[in-house]
Amino acid sequence: MMNNIANNFTKKFVTLATLVFLCSLPTTTLAKSSVWKVSKNNDHVYIGGTIHVLPEEHPMPSEFINAFNNTDQLILEAQLPDPNDAAAQQAMIAKMSYTNGDNLQSKLTPETFKLLTNYFTTIGSNVNQFTSFKPGFVITIMALIELQKAQISGEGVDAFFEAQATIENKKIDYLETADMQFTMLSQLGEGYEDEFILANLELNSSFTEFFGLILDAWQVGDSARLESLINDAALDSDEKSYEALFSVRNKNWVPKIEAMFNNKHKELVLVGAGHLFGKDGLLALLKKQGYTIEQSSL
């Protein structure tokens, strides 16, 4: 079973931009999409905020396709290990696992561990299969379970365009390594495991509705709503995780994006939608550096 979990995790790695509290806001319809043109000195880079897992046969916004067709290089967050690479899978599992006799149960109160036990029991699993893993990996497994329950199992934006770039022989590059992502994930919730697990158990009770709101806002490029649903809610619920997931990584990525200017390539950068917004979002950070930011219209 653990090999299946590892394979599913690698195929549908969900950054915790999709694991924040539900903020219900009214639906609006905008003639825009979640793609931005970042310009400076007669050069530009397209940056798209993505959803890492989509419902089956969900239509891709045309602005993503247009940006892809008008660029010759695709930049993604990280290249994940091949699901068939057993050595890479085992290395990932080792990074996500406790050592020296520690386990997740010892980090939780009896009340929280009982709630976690009940969660896995309701889906026909035994919590003891997961107690050797750190909380960041456990809540990602829970996210995959909720996606399956909601029948959301389609290819994500990143995977769609990575496959298309491979077919068209476009160059693909990455902002960080898979090891960097897994290290970050393995450290989430460290030192406050009880609150971290409780928050994600609460999220699961409204996961389908929450994901629908995110998807709706993303589809029409409603940046204000996406910022409220993802960034504001994540910051309010878990400032430490927000810093690790968004702020630190965004600041590390800005110099890499700036290096894409004044070269022979036209780049499309695809990152999880939560990385774009807020005061530490890529759009705000690039604007501070003097870049012009324009949202693409349909």
DSSP 195-247: HHHHHHHHHHTTHHHHHHHHHHHHHTT-HHHHIIIIIIHHHHH-HHHHIIIII
Instruction: Report the Cα 3 to chain-centroid distance in Å.
Output: 22
- In the three-class reduction of DSSP (H, G, I as helix; E, B as strand; rest coil), residue 280 is classed as coil
Q: What is the largest CA-CA distance in the chain?
A: 60
* Most confident segment among 22-31, 114-123, 143-152: 114-123
- Checking if the pLDDT of 72 tops 60, the result is yes
Q: Which of 26-30, 85-89, 145-149, 252-256 has the lowest mean pLDDT?
A: 26-30
Cα dihedral sign for 103, 106, 107, 108? positive
What's the rounded mean pLDDT across residues 263-284?
A: 95
What pLDDT, on a 0 to 100 scale, did the predictor assign at position 9? 45
Q: Over pLDDT 90: what percentage of the chain?
A: 57
Report the run of H or E that residue 48 belongs to, with start and end: strand 43-50
The pTM (predicted TM-score) of the whole model is 0.86
What's the rounded mean pLDDT across residues 159-179?
A: 95
Tokens of 289: 């550096």
Q: Name the average pLDDT for the chain.
A: 86
- Checking if the pLDDT of 273 tops 90, the result is yes
DSSP 8-class letter at 131: T
Per-residue pLDDT band for 48 (boundaries 50, 70, 90) equals: very high
Distance CA 123, CA 130 (A): 13
Distance CA 87, CA 103 (A): 23
Comparing C-alpha atoms, which of 254, 265, 250 is closest to residue 43?
Answer: 265
Q: Which of 40-44, 52-56, 60-64, 188-192 has the lowest mean pLDDT?
A: 52-56
- Checking if the pLDDT of 280 tops 90, the result is yes
Report the run of H or E that residue 33 belongs to, with start and end: strand 32-40
CA distances from 203 to 135, 136, 142, 198, 237 (A): 15, 14, 10, 9, 11
Domain boundaries, the chain: 2-297
Higher pLDDT: 17 or 2? It is 2
What's the rounded mean pLDDT across residues 175-200?
A: 92
Q: Which of 52-56, 132-136, 166-170 has the lowest mean pLDDT?
A: 52-56
Q: Which amino acid is at 33?
A: S
Instruction: Express each pLDDT in 79-129 by its tens digit.
Output: 877 778 888 888 888 899 999 889 999 999 999 999 999 999 998 999 999
The Cα angle at residue 238 between residues 237 and 243, in degrees rounded to 5: 135
Per-residue pLDDT band for 297 (boundaries 50, 70, 90) equals: low
Comparing C-alpha atoms, which of 258, 215, 293, 256 is closest to residue 76?
Answer: 256
Residues 6+ apart with CB under 8 A from 108: 116, 193, 194, 197
Q: At what angle do helices 2-11 and 86-96 cross, to 10 degrees?
A: 100
